Structure 1
Amino acid sequence: MSAASAAEPGAEDLTLSIHVPHFVTSMLAQIPGANEYLKWWINLWRENPVHLLVETTLILLILYILLQRPSKKRSKMETLPAAVAQELLNEYEPEPLCPPLTEGARMVLEDSVLLETKPSKYTKVSGVDKEVLNLTTMDFLGFGQRKEIHKAAEDALNKYGCGSCGPRGFYGSIDVHVFLEKDLANFFGTDDCIVYSDADSTATSAIPAFSNRSDLLVVDEAVNDAIITGVNLSRSRVLFFKHNDMEDLARVLQKVEEEDRRLKRKPQRRFIVVEGLYRNYGDVCPLDEVVGLKNKYRWRLFLDESHSIGVFGASGKGVAEHFGIEMSEIDLFVSSLSTTFASVGGFCVGSREVVEHQRLSGAGYCFSASSPPFVSTVASQAIKLLTSEARSKLAPAVKKNAQTFHAAVRKLADGDLVTVSNPSSALAHVRLAPKYQLAEDPADYDEATRCAEEKTLRAITKKMREEGVLATVANYIILPDTVKQVVGSNKRPPLPPPSIRFAITALHDEDELTRAVQTLVKCTREALKDHPSEAPVTVSTPSITLRKRH
Structure 2
Amino acid sequence: MDNPVLQAINQTFLTVSRGVQAVPGSDIVIGYIKNSYQNDPFRVVLELGLAIYAIKYMLSKKYRIDPSHIKLTEKEIDELVDEWQPEPLVKPLTDRERMELESAQVILGSQGPKPKMLSTGKTLLNLASSNFLGYNDNEHIKSKLVEVLHNYGVGTCGPPGFYGTLDVHMQLEKDIARFLGTESAIIYAQAFATISSVVAAFSKRGDIIVADEGCNFAIQKGTQISRSIIKWYKHNDMEDLERVLESIQKETSNKKRPLTRRFIITEGLFYNYGDFAPLKRIMELKHKYKYRLVLDESASVGLVSKNGRGLTEKYGVAAKEIDMIVGSMAHSFSAAGGFCAGAKEVIDHQRLSGQAFVFSAAIPAMLTVCASEAINILEDESMGGTKLLKDLHDNATAFRNVIVTAPQSIEMNSEEGSPILHLRFPSQVVKNSGITTRDDEEYLLQEIVDEVATKDGLLITRAKYVESQELFLPRPSIRISICASHTRKEVEKAAQSIKTAFSKVIAKRK
TM-score (structure 2 length as normaliser): 0.83
The answer on 1:495 being equivalent to 2:473 is yes
- The change in CA–CA distance for 1:305 and 1:295 in structure 2 (over 3 A counts) is same
Measured against aligned partners, the alpha-carbon deviations of 1:430-484 in whole angstroms (never above 9, x if no partner) come to 11123332599xxxx9xx61111000101110111113100010012343xxxxx
Amino acid at match of 1:271: F
What is the CA-CA distance between 1:143 and the residue it aligns to? 2.1
The residue correspondences of 1:533-548 to structure 2 (distance < 5 A) are none
Amino acid at match of 1:404: A
Which residue, out of 465, 481, 494, partners 1:516? 494
Distance 2:81 2:413 in 1: 57
Distance 1:67 1:432 in 2: 73
Distance 2:255 2:422 in 1: 43
Contact 1:105–1:478 at 8 Å: present in 2 too?
A: no
What is the CA-CA distance between 1:521 and the residue it aligns to? 2.5
Distance 2:302 2:57 in 1: 76
Amino acid at match of 2:345: E
What is the CA-CA distance between 1:364 and the residue it aligns to? 1.1
Q: Secondary structure at the match of 2:164?
A: coil
Which residue, out of 423, 432, 444, partners 1:456? 444
Give the share of equivalent positions with the same residue, in percent. 37
Q: Structure 2: which 5+ residue stretches go unaligned?
A: 13-51
Which residue, out of 411, 416, 420, partners 2:409? 416
Q: Secondary structure at the match of 1:437?
A: helix
- The change in CA–CA distance for 1:312 and 1:93 in structure 2 (over 3 A counts) is same
- The change in CA–CA distance for 1:180 and 1:88 in structure 2 (over 3 A counts) is same
Measured against aligned partners, the alpha-carbon deviations of 1:89-148 in whole angstroms (never above 9, x if no partner) come to 665667776666544444333333221121211101232331000011112222222111
Distance 1:317 1:171 in 2: 32
Partner of 2:123: 131
Distance 1:177 1:515 in 2: 42
Partner of 2:20: none
Which residue, out of 239, 242, 247, partners 2:239? 247
Contact 2:306–2:386 at 8 Å: present in 1 too?
A: no
Contact 1:216–1:238 at 8 Å: present in 2 too?
A: yes
What is the CA-CA distance between 1:220 and the residue it aligns to? 0.2
Partner of 1:476: 465
**Higher Cα radius of gyration:** 1
The residue correspondences of 1:46-195 to structure 2 (distance < 5 A) are 70=61, 73-75=64-66, 78-83=69-74, 84=76, 87-88=79-80, 91=83, 101-195=93-187
What is the CA-CA distance between 1:358 and the residue it aligns to? 0.8
Measured against aligned partners, the alpha-carbon deviations of 1:330-378 in whole angstroms (never above 9, x if no partner) come to 1111011111112111100111111111111111111111111110111
- The change in CA–CA distance for 1:88 and 1:407 in structure 2 (over 3 A counts) is same
Amino acid at match of 2:131: D
Partner of 2:482: 504
The residue correspondences of 1:63-462 to structure 2 (distance < 5 A) are 70=61, 73-75=64-66, 78-83=69-74, 84=76, 87-88=79-80, 91=83, 101-389=93-381, 392-411=386-405, 413=406, 415-438=408-431, 449-462=437-450
Task: Decide which moves more: 253-262 or 305-314.
Answer: 305-314
Contact 1:348–1:355 at 8 Å: present in 2 too?
A: yes
Q: Structure 1: which 5+ residue stretches go unaligned?
A: 1-9, 15-32, 38-60, 480-484, 486-491, 534-550
- The change in CA–CA distance for 1:478 and 1:280 in structure 2 (over 3 A counts) is closer
- The change in CA–CA distance for 1:197 and 1:222 in structure 2 (over 3 A counts) is same
- The change in CA–CA distance for 1:366 and 1:93 in structure 2 (over 3 A counts) is farther
Contact 2:220–2:471 at 8 Å: present in 1 too?
A: no
Task: Decide which moves more: 304-313 or 193-202.
Answer: 304-313
Task: Decide which moves more: 141-150 or 250-259.
Answer: 141-150
Contact 1:128–1:465 at 8 Å: present in 2 too?
A: no
Distance 2:56 2:426 in 1: 82
CA RMSD, 1 decimal: 3.0
Q: Secondary structure at the match of 1:291?
A: helix
Matched residues, number: 462
Q: Secondary structure at the match of 1:301?
A: strand
Distance 2:62 2:284 in 1: 75
Measured against aligned partners, the alpha-carbon deviations of 1:392-434 in whole angstroms (never above 9, x if no partner) come to 42222221111110111122x3621122101211000011123
Task: Decide which moves more: 517-526 or 248-257.
Answer: 517-526
- The change in CA–CA distance for 1:134 and 1:72 in structure 2 (over 3 A counts) is closer
Amino acid at match of 1:204: S
Amino acid at match of 1:80: K
Q: Secondary structure at the match of 2:266?
A: strand
Contact 1:108–1:475 at 8 Å: present in 2 too?
A: no
Partner of 2:30: none
What is the CA-CA distance between 1:295 and the residue it aligns to? 0.3
What is the CA-CA distance between 1:70 and the residue it aligns to? 3.9
Distance 1:71 1:510 in 2: 80
Measured against aligned partners, the alpha-carbon deviations of 1:259-305 in whole angstroms (never above 9, x if no partner) come to 12111332101100100000000001100000000000010001001
Q: Secondary structure at the match of 2:466?
A: strand
Contact 2:395–2:482 at 8 Å: present in 1 too?
A: yes
- The change in CA–CA distance for 1:504 and 1:89 in structure 2 (over 3 A counts) is same
What is the CA-CA distance between 1:391 and the residue it aligns to? 6.8
Contact 1:197–1:368 at 8 Å: present in 2 too?
A: yes
- The change in CA–CA distance for 1:77 and 1:460 in structure 2 (over 3 A counts) is farther
What is the CA-CA distance between 1:158 and the residue it aligns to? 0.9
Distance 1:93 1:439 in 2: 46
